[in-house]
């Protein structure tokens, strides 16, 4: 083993040194989050043996059936975070209302998370993940809800864990994006992808990929329909884009970050705001992609500019190559 490897904890402590006034509360919060993520990774690995597949017999606030792993992951996140004494309030995909923290345990951060994203992929062993965004409680906020409903422009730190062929944590702050792979033999996340950057379209190693649920094509708006058509039937000498869609946002966005491409979950005739939820899915993933040199949009402007009004608010989302996102925004100007 590399005795000089950088663990996520040592990396975060190193980062903290850049800010001499920092209290260390965010470092403690991240540590609690890591414990929850490691416990989720272990549960995902042994889910078949521990009889964790299948439904829990309940549905969450947005009407999805809850899987046993959804419920377990949610409890792990909530309990680990509450007992870190760093969190003021939380919002989870699995809880209808915001989660308040008892006064003696309150800290100065708020966190929104999807404890297990891509639930429909659990039982067939396809990649799933956890997504989180962390904000500071505004000094003048009067209610916990006001603390939770902050835009992506105030994010302090965001990221996701991918439970795939390996478990990887991707962490974005204003200083950049870094990837850590879980070494299960020592239970530590090791820095394996420092300063992650999305490839530029056309650069060596970049791929031409569009990622969307094509099954809903008859319900798309004109902008999405025209854009996807142009990816399949490009003009001139351009090659077409390949189509890849896992159906787990974490997996689809992680591939977009590494190989390049465009991920889309647009509005449809049936779902006017699309499906993906702002606070714990779109904002954290858009923050990661933008910090890595890509772009995000709801069709009009960056996802990070949207001021959320409800905890479970949804928004159409497009993210990936900057020039492709610009093309999509131009199509929305053409077909408002
Ligand atoms: P979930 O949080 O209930 O798992 O739902 C969110 C997931 C995303 O990961 C993914 O991008 C999307 O739902 C897939 O939806 P669809 O099956 O409609 O394409
Ligand atoms: Mg989700």
ipTM for this prediction:
0.95
- What pLDDT is attached to residue 1? 73
Name the catalytic one among 252, 281, 290, 324: 281
- The percent of residues above 70 in pLDDT, for the chain, comes to 94
- The percent of residues above 90 in pLDDT, for the chain, comes to 78
* pLDDT exceeds 90 at position 15: no
Reported confidence tier of residue 321, pLDDT bands at 50, 70, 90? very high
- What pLDDT is attached to residue 14? 87
In 46-170, where does DSSP find H-type helix? 68-82, 144-148
Alpha carbon distance 90, 98 (integer Å):
6
For the segment 118-128, the average pLDDT, to the nearest whole number, is 89
Among candidates 319, 225, 311, 308, which has minimal Cα distance to 268? 225
- What pLDDT is attached to residue 51? 65
Alpha carbon distance 62, 8 (integer Å):
33
- CA of 55 from ligand 2 middle (Å) equals 16
Cβ-contact 196, 41 below 8 angstroms: no
Domains identified in the chain and CATH numbers: 8-195 (3.30.540.10), 209-334 (3.40.190.80)
Reported confidence tier of residue 239, pLDDT bands at 50, 70, 90? very high
- CA of 34 from ligand 2 middle (Å) equals 19
* pLDDT exceeds 90 at position 21: no
- What pLDDT is attached to residue 306? 98
- What pLDDT is attached to residue 60? 65
Cβ-contact 130, 73 below 8 angstroms: yes
Hunting for tokens 């829990």 — which residue is that? 56
Q: Is 218 exposed, middle or buried (0-12, 13-18, 19+ CB in 10 A)?
A: exposed
* pLDDT exceeds 90 at position 298: yes
- What pLDDT is attached to residue 56? 66
Reported confidence tier of residue 61, pLDDT bands at 50, 70, 90? low
* pLDDT exceeds 70 at position 184: yes
* pLDDT exceeds 70 at position 98: yes
pTM, to two decimals: 0.94
Q: Which residue out of 65, 73, 91, 117 has the highest number of ligand 1 atoms within 8 Å of its CB and is therefore the one to mutate?
A: 117
* pLDDT exceeds 80 at position 303: yes
């Amino acid at each position: 083993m590399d005795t000089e490897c950088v663990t996520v904890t040592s990396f975060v402590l190193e980062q903290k040194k850049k800010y001499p006034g920092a209290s260390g509360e965010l470092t403690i919060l991240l540590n609690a989050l890591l414990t929850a993520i490691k416990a989720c990774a272990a549960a995902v690995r042994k889910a078949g043996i521990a009889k964790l597949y299948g439904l829990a017999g309940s549905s969450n606030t947005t009407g999805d059936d809850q899987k046993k792993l959804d419920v377990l992951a949610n409890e792990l996140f909530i309990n680990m975070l509450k007992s870190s004494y760093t969190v003021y309030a939380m919002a989870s995909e699995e809880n209808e209302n915001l989660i308040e923290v008892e006064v003696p345990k309150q800290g100065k951060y708020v966190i929104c998370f999807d404890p297990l994203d891509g639930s429909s992929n659990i039982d067939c062993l396809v990649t799933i993940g956890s997504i989180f965004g962390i904000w500071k409680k505004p000094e003048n906020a009067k209610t916990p809800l006001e603390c939770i409903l902050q835009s992506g422009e105030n994010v302090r730190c965001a990221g996701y864990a991918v439970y795939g062929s390996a478990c990887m944590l991707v962490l974005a702050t204003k200083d950049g994006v870094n990837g850590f792979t879980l070494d299960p033999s020592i239970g530590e996340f090791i820095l394996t992808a420092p300063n992650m950057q999305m490839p530029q379209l056309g650069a060596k190693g970049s791929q031409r990929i569009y990622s969307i649920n094509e099954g809903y094509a008859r319900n798309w708006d004109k902008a999405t329909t025209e854009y996807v058509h142009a990816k399949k039937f490009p003009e001139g000498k351009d090659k077409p884009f390949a189509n890849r869609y896992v159906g787990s946002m974490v997996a689809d966005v992680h591939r977009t970050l590494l190989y390049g491409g465009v991920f889309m979950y647009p509005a449809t005739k049936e779902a006017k705001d699309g499906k993906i939820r702002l606070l714990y899915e779109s904002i954290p993933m858009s923050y990661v992609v933008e910090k890595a040199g890509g772009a995000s949009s709801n069709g009009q402007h960056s996802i990070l500019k949207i001021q959320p009004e409800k905890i479970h608010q949804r928004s159409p989302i497009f993210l990936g190559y900057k020039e492709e996102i610009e093309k999509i925004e131009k199509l929305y100007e053409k077909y408002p």
